[in-house]
């Protein structure tokens, strides 16, 4: 690996696979040394906000507007924030709504990272065959390198 400044996008969802991906992304950023500061962009994709219909008398507010959101956010971003702090790596966090693979690719298009780090799929073989995995979709369609962590 070259010791150059990198922008590393990491997908976060609170699963053990995403925690491993977060640790690996921070390790990659820290490996660039003090001369070339790398940056980690942690992205969490929440289910898409559907438009309220006339049958929704009490539509649910978005997850980021609920009372317990800050506690939930801290729990999900805990590993990446802790790892980045310990390694003295610059970290930016972002929460977006939509279909995970599409949104991650959209953020990657906008932010232009050097690499995307994502955890491997935890889905079973049948579910993965029917729906496909987020990591596979991102790897097939990303314009930059994709590092899938197992």
Domain boundaries, the chain: 7-47+64-149
pLDDT, residue 128, reads: 52
pLDDT, residue 49, reads: 62
Measure CA 57 to chain center.
33
pLDDT, residue 90, reads: 94
Pairing of strands 115-119, 145-149: parallel
Distance (Å, whole) CA 3 – CA 20: 22
Element (H, E) at 22: helix 16-30
Measure CA 149 to chain center.
12
Segments in the chain below pLDDT 50 = 1, 3, 126, 130-131
Helices within 61-111 (DSSP H only):
69-87, 100-111
pLDDT, residue 130, reads: 46
Q: Does domain 7-47+64-149 have CATH number 3.40.50.2300?
A: no
pTM: 0.82
């Amino acid at each position: 690996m070259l010791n150059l400044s990198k922008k590393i996008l990491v997908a976060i969802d609170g699963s053990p696979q995403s925690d491993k991906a977060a640790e690996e992304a921070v390790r990659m950023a820290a490996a660039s040394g003090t001369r070339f500061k790398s940056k980690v962009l942690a992205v969490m994709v929440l289910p898409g906000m559907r438009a309220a219909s006339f049958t929704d008398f009490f539509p649910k507010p978005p997850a980021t507007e609920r009372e317990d959101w800050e506690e939930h956010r801290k729990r999900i971003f805990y590993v990446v924030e802790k790892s980045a702090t310990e390694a003295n790596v610059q970290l930016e966090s972002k929460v977006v709504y939509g279909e995970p693979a599409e949104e991650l690719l959209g953020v990657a298009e906008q932010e232009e990272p050097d690499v995307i780090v994502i955890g491997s799929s935890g889905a079973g073989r049948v579910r993965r065959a029917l729906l496909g995995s987020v990591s596979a979709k991102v790897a097939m369609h990303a314009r930059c390198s994709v590092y899938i962590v197992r």
